[in-house]
Amino acid sequence: MIDLKTLRSLIKLMVDNDLTELDIRDQDETCALKRAGHGAPVVMAPPAATVQHAAPATSTSETPAPAGDDSPGVESPMVGTFYTASDPDSPPFVQVGDTIGPDTVVCIIEAMKVFNEVKAGVAGVIERVLVENAEPVEFGQKLFSVRPN
């Protein structure tokens, strides 16, 4: 059974973003919500099986685990060291408040002495930079949170 706290967040998400329908599937768990006009949303399909919510894998304080945060942003496509600029003397690629497009280079991740430019993959405005310069990052780790256009 989907818990009430999650259900409340989903409903708030719908209202905040003026969504009429929301259909979520997570492995065995499904949930479909539909808003009737401006009234309270109605739960349509009951969830299937309970998903065991084990604690996300903990790592060191320097590398927070990618705990399935679904808010929009840029996730790391690889394992390596995060750099905000192309070199120590250059300004950072992006800062909070910058508008970005899917092809905007937002950072560099270095792995095995190779420096890889990372493209945003989303369009919007940079809300927060979630990683420090020269910090190690893992696959799937959230690097920037982005407010979509």
Partner 1 sequence: MFKRILIANRGEIALRIIRACRELGVETACVYSTADRDAPYLRLADHTVCIGEPPAADSYINMSRIISAAEVTDSDAIHPGYGFLAENAEFAAMCADCQIAFVGPSPEAMGRLGDKISCKRLARAAKMPVFPGSEDAIEDEDEAVKVAQKIGFPVIVKAAFGGGGRGMRIAHNNMTLRTGLASARQEAEAAFGNGAVYVEKFLESARHIEVQVLADSHGAAVHLYERDCSIQRRHQKLIEEAPAPHVDPKRRDEVCKSAARLVRNAGYVGAATVEMLLDEKQNFYLLEVNTRVQVEHPVTEMITGVDIVKTQIMVAAGEPLPFKQRNISARGHAIECRINAEDPANNFAPSPGPIDRFDTPGGPGVRIDSHAVAGYRVPPNYDSMIGKLIVHGDTREIAIARTEQALKEFHIGPIKTTIPLQIELMRNGSFMHGGVDIHFLERLLKG
Binding mask 103-122 for partner 1 (x = CB under 8 A): --------xx----------
Tell me if 4 contacts partner 1 by CB under 8 A. no
Residue 43 or 79: which CB sits closer to partner 1? Answer: 79
Residue found under tokens 């903990």? 58
User: What is the total count of residues that contact partner 1 (CB under 8 A)?
Assistant: 26
Tell me if 69 contacts partner 1 by CB under 8 A. no
Tell me if 84 contacts partner 1 by CB under 8 A. no
Tell me if 134 contacts partner 1 by CB under 8 A. no
Residue 5 or 113: which CB sits closer to partner 1? Answer: 113
Interface residues with partner 1 (CB under 8 A)? 27, 49, 52, 54-60, 63, 65-66, 68, 78-81, 111-112, 136-141
